[in-house]
Structure 1
Amino acid sequence: MSKRQELRAPALELNQANGLLELNERYREIFRSIVETYLETGEPVGSRHLSRQLPMTLSPASVRNVMSDLESQGLIYAPHVSAGRIPTQTGLRLFVDGLLEVGSIEETERDQLERQLLRDYHREHAVTSEVLAEAGDLLSGLSRCAGVVLAEKQVSRLKHIEFVSLDSKRALLVLAGDDGSVENRVLNLPEGLPPQALVEATNYLNAKIRGVTLPEAREKIEGELKARQAELDALTAKLVRSGLAQWSGGREDNRSLIVRGQSRLLNDLRAVEDLERIRLLFEDLESQKALIHLLDLAEKAEGVRIFIGSENNLFSLSGSSLIVAPFQDHERKIVGVLGVIGPTRLNYGRIIPMVDFTAKLVSRVLA
């Protein structure tokens, strides 16, 4: 290590407690300026530009020395031979976790979200799917990126359920909601089940489920079956349990994914490589199973989650970021997540409070 490197090394020390590089004031201001300029313009930042806009007096040569150290630590890099510097994925994570100043949602955005979500959905006929689709549209429009929502498939209030025989081994389970929605599942029948059991199971369930939600119906019927209060023979009770399991199990199949506004990602292309990145992102969004799995992870944490680039395999090629937050139902149970997908060059400070507020607002609407 040279004498020059020895003198500057303490400015970049790894904090073993949190795994983040701690920067002294000079390094922190230069690094912050590089990241903020890049997030705003999408362009590399040079030492001469930095020396003019920093809150301290530093020559371009001094700035270049600091940039060299930041680059050696993997926080910034030069995308072209004679260009300035932009943050790496590691640098973006350091910035988001330790240096980003997140305020409140802008008043105009708050008003628009409240006006459009609360105005339309404090009505008796409002259904969850409409609320979530509107939330996805609003997030896409305000962020100028893609809005994404994941939630359990909903039939608002149950109206009718029926087992329809397909053959000796299978039946179609039909679930109708009082909003006109219909969901179907094919299930395997218990061996030896008599034909009249389908009618008995249909009559039993319809006597219990009308006017309640699916989670409420499941809880009520499971309780009766467990307490042996249901007047059903063993095979018919097994059929009812199988039908309930078909709706409550198979999590991926029972999830509704809404992605809105992908075309907005094409509005801010700056180079040919941007177009290729967006093409790869569109392919990522088509991979719904992987996206659902990623959003499932976000449900397991409170508050806003941020996934940057290849931190998740889904975005390893497109280099995209996902900002999401969970929302709750009237029982304060997390029932889904919503957020924004876009390039890593997102305005994190603006979009994080926007996503957080929208998730809380949807929770209010669903309460």
Structure 2
Amino acid sequence: MDLQPTRGRDTTSVLDERSREIFRRIVESYLETGEPLGSRNLARLLPISLSPASVRNVMSDLEELGLIYAPHISAGRLPTQIGLRFFVDAFMQVGDLSVEDRASIERQIRASDRDQPMENLMTEASLMLSGVSRGAGIVITAKSDPVLKHVEFIRLEPTKALAILVGDHNQVENRIIDLPAGVTSSQLTEAANFLNAHLSGQTLPELRGQLRTLKQRVQTELDTLSRDLVERGLAVWAGDNEEGKPSRLIVRGRANLLEGLAGAEDLDRLRMLFDDLEKKDSLLEILDLAESGPGVRIFIGSENKLFSLSGSSLVVAPYRDEEDRIVGAVGVIGPTRLNYSRIVPMVDYTAQLLTRLSRNPRAQ
């Protein structure tokens, strides 16, 4: 697994063993409880004998380095965002998942079900990630190209028709299209019959290419209005999504983000986060973050502008298609005290699994 560090390793050289141990205990306590850790309790946790006064002196040095802070007077200490980044880069141990963990992920995503549509698998992936984190599991994917089984046109009024596309796994898309002037009901039927006879069993991009190769046959078998209708029927599906751009965000576990909120300010930050997630530009930005380096990426709080106001962390990894192009991202959004050492390998393996399924969805 390739975990991409950001910064913070240089700070390691200025901390002695005692300072490193105290800092590590403060961060680990925060990640587990979310509460400040005081010098007296910390002294009891240390494997070496150290008085509370000595612990406070070390805490003061760590504060000067910007790694920890006191949320209020006479309180214990919490890690800063810089401290969390330093901990993730310099201290956190991330190992490979066990065979049991991998099997559990595949079972929860139902990866062995060969009849599962990819969208269902992605929904299960986001649900699984929300279950192993304190946050929300997310999957971003470019709109898939369904394999056609059947096409039908139903007239709604003289100038409009309902175009029905039925894909494999019985996915159905209904779109209203404008009819060419003067088109008749028989021409609607003729256009649908032509598509079903010659072009079913292919994806939309394949259909458009096939139309070009069948151009002479189309001109021979269909009149002008019917040809126009065929083109419109395909364009309404194939043309509404820019190639390679994500248009689908699957989020599960949003309720997890409500846990531990202290008041109206926290709710406002969470509302900002949800608003950001609904914007298509945000989806593109998350994908850009995933693409900015190989492997799993960790962004803590203000390290990325997308979630700086909500103070959230993002653990994200890309997944790829059969041509090794990045086609989506999978990850977890949550509070800064995510269990990073647990979540990072989960996100990494889930991305690998989705890559495998995207490349060969019917042969697991």
**TM-score grouping bracket, smaller chain normalisation:** 0.7 to 0.9
Is 1:292–2:279 an aligned residue pair? no
1-structure distance, mates of 2:167, 2:268 = 38
Deviations 1:90-119 (A, max 9, x none): 2212222232211123555333223333xx
Q: How many Å separate the matches in 1 of 2:61 and 2:199?
A: 66
Specify whether residues 21 and 227 from structure 1 end up closer, same or farther in structure 2 by C-alpha distance, changes over 3 A only. farther
Work out whether residues 270 and 310 of structure 2, in 8 Å CA contact, stay in contact via their aligned partners in 1. yes
Q: Name the SS for the 1:22 alignment partner.
A: helix
| Residues 168 and 87 of structure 1: CA distance in aligned 2, closer, same or farther (over 3 Å) | farther
Please say if 1:221 is aligned against 2:208.
yes
CA distance in 1, matches of 2:38, 2:312: 24
Q: Structure 1 residues 133 and 241, CA, compared in 2 at 3 Å: closer, same or farther? A: closer
Q: Secondary structure at the match of 1:272?
A: coil
Q: Alignment partner of 1:23: what SS?
A: helix
Q: Structure 1 counterpart of 2:286, which letter?
A: L
Counterpart of 2:85 in structure 1: which amino acid?
Answer: R
Measure, in 2, the Cα distance between the counterparts of 1:250 and 1:327: 16
Shift of the alpha carbon at 1:138?
1.6
Distance (whole Å) between structure 2 residues aligned to residue 141 and residue 153 of structure 1: 25
Q: Give the equivalent residue in structure 2 for 1:258.
A: 250
**Mapped partners of 1:310, 1:171: distance in 2:** 49
Q: Which residue of 66, 90, 96 corresponds with 1:98?
A: 90
Aligned residue in 2 for 1:134:
124
So what's the TM-score if we normalise by structure 2?
0.76
CA contact (8 A) 2:177 2:233 kept: no
Q: State the partner residue of 2:80.
A: 88
Q: 1:226 to 1:92 in 2, by over 3 A?
A: farther
Gaps of 5+ in 2: 1-5
Q: Which range moved further: 178-187 or 349-358? A: 178-187
**What is the root-mean-square deviation in Å for CA atoms of aligned residues?**
3.7
Q: How far has the Cα of 1:20 moved from its partner? A: 5.3
- TM-score, length-scaled by structure 1: 0.75
Counterpart in the other structure of 1:114: 106
Residue 352 (structure 1) aligned with residue 352 (structure 2) = no
Q: Deviations over 1:7-50 (max 9, x none)?
A: xxxxxxxxxx9575422342433322221221112111223333
Q: How do 1:1-367 residues align onto structure 2 when only pairs under 5 Å count?
A: 21-24=10-13, 25-26=15-16, 27-56=19-48, 58-105=50-97, 108-117=100-109, 120-154=110-144, 156-161=146-151, 174-185=164-175, 195=183, 205-207=195-197, 209-212=199-202, 214=203, 217-219=204-206, 221-222=208-209, 225=212, 231=218, 239=232, 242-243=235-236, 245-249=238-242, 255-266=247-258, 268-269=259-260, 272-273=262-263, 276-277=265-266, 280-286=269-275, 287-289=277-279, 291-301=282-292, 302-366=294-358, 367=360
Distance 1:241 1:134, change over 3 A: closer
Greater RCO (CA < 8 Å, at least 6 residues apart): 2
- Once the two structures are TM-superposed, the CA of residue 241 in structure 1 deviates from its matched residue by 7.7
Measure how far apart 1:264 and its partner are. Answer: 2.9
Supply the distance in 1 between the matched residues of 2:82 and 2:158 (Cα, whole angstroms).
Answer: 58
* CA distance in structure 1 between the partners assigned to 2:97 and 2:82 by the alignment: 26
Q: Deviations over 1:180-225 (max 9, x none)?
A: 2222456678xx987489778756654554223x3xx414633763
Alignment CA distance shift 1:245-1:107 (3 Å): closer
The one-letter amino acid of 2:148's match is L
* Distance (whole Å) between structure 2 residues aligned to residue 312 and residue 166 of structure 1: 48
Do 1:277 and 1:319's aligned partners in 2 also have CA atoms closer than 8 Å? Answer: no
Amino acid at match of 2:212: L
CA 1:43–1:230: 2 relative to 1, 3 Å: farther
Q: Percent identity?
A: 46
Change (3 A) 1:188 1:91: farther
Would the aligned equivalents of 2:126 and 2:139 in 1 still touch at CA under 8 Å? yes
Cα distance in 2, alignment partners of residues 186 and 299 from structure 1: 36
Q: Gaps (5+ residues) in structure 1? A: 1-16
